Amino acid sequence: DTEVTQTPKHLVMGMTNKKSLKCEQHMGHRAMYWYKQKAKKPPELMFVYSYEKLSINESVPSRFSPECPNSSLLNLHLHALQPEDSALYLCASSQDPGSSYNEQFFGPGTRLTVL
Amino acid sequence: GIQVEQSPPDLILQEGANSTLRCNFSDSVNNLQWFHQNPWGQLINLFYIPSGTKQNGRLSATTVATERYSLLYISSSQTTDSGVYFCAAVNSGGSNYKLTFGKGTLLTVNP
């Protein structure tokens, strides 16, 4: 099963709201990723967790706060977002970043609108 | 970091036609993936192909790592093939996590 799930599918929030995006995989993968994709652009890496530890933060503003409660789950906590943060947020996972095989599999995404 | 360039940026085909999409990358890679993004935003894995040739039905891909390019072939195209095709690579000299995407090729297949 090569499935990554994400909830919710759509989210509308105001600039003062706090919300969370959730991602889950049951493939036994040890690396999980958050990407942001604006319309008509490629996905851009935000965060990487490897073995449940934050490995990469691509200089993302602190209003985005990632969390990896266990090896299957990845959350992205959102607070005081701006309208320009509206985008498709994609979660991905890969088997073992230390190995030579590191194919990434993506979830269906959460389409976020900030009003 | 590694640069990934895709061509053409846009491609319009009649159903049944064949096409070739190209991906050039600026440095050696240990991961190269082709994706199809459907209209709902889902990125679907087509190929994991850091080198060599693979085939899956009407699609095939070839990566010539020494010359730093990869090609995606679509034969007998169908309207459901429409969408954006992304090539993405991991630089073998950099972080093993960081997948860098090209800007994509927007494919439209008309009936």
B14-64 pLDDT, tens digit each: 999 999 999 999 999 989 999 999 988 999 999 999 999 999 999 999 999
Nearest to B97 among A42, A48, A101 (CB): A48
- When pLDDT is averaged across residues A19-39 and rounded to a whole number, the result is 96
In chain B, whose CA is at the least distance from the CA of A103? Answer: B48
Answer yes or no: is pLDDT of B96 > 80.
no
**Total Cβ atoms within 10 A of residue B7:** 13
Answer yes or no: is pLDDT of A1 > 60.
no
In chain A, whose CA is at the least distance from the CA of B32? Answer: A103
- At A58 the pLDDT is 92
Nearest chain A CA: its distance from B13 CA (Å): 20
Measured between beta carbons, the chain A residues lying within 8 angstroms of B56 are none
Binned at pLDDT 50, 70 and 90, residue A52 comes out as: very high
- Please, is A40 exposed, middle or buried when counting C-beta atoms within 10 Å of its C-beta (0-12, 13-18, 19+)? exposed
B59, β-bridge pairs:
B56, B74
Nearest chain A CA: its distance from B45 CA (Å): 7
What is the rounded (10 degree) CA torsion for B88, A105, A33, B72? 10
Going from the C-alpha of B46 to that of each of A12, A17, A79, B33, B36, the distances in angstroms are: 31, 37, 35, 7, 7
- At B97 the pLDDT is 80
Cβ within 8 Å, pair B33-A33: no
Answer yes or no: is pLDDT of A2 > 70.
no
Nearest to A102 among B31, B40, B42 (CB): B31
A53-75 pLDDT, tens digit each: 999 999 999 999 999 999 999 99
Average pLDDT, chain B: 95
Nearest to A97 among B35, B42, B97 (CB): B97
Q: Which of A30, A89, A31 is nearest to A64 (CA)?
A: A89
A37, β-bridge pairs:
A88
Which residues neighbour B85 within 8 Å (Cβ) at sequence distance 6 or greater? B6, B21, B34, B35, B36, B37, B46, B72, B104, B105, B107
Answer yes or no: is pLDDT of B110 > 60.
yes
Q: Is B17 on the interface with A (CB under 8 A)?
A: no
Cβ within 8 Å, pair A55-B98: no
Binned at pLDDT 50, 70 and 90, residue A107 comes out as: very high
- When pLDDT is averaged across residues A69-86 and rounded to a whole number, the result is 96
Average pLDDT, chain A: 94
pLDDT over 70, % of chain A? 98
Answer yes or no: is pLDDT of B79 > 70.
yes
Interface test with A, best of B29, B96, B106 (most A CBs within 10 A): B96
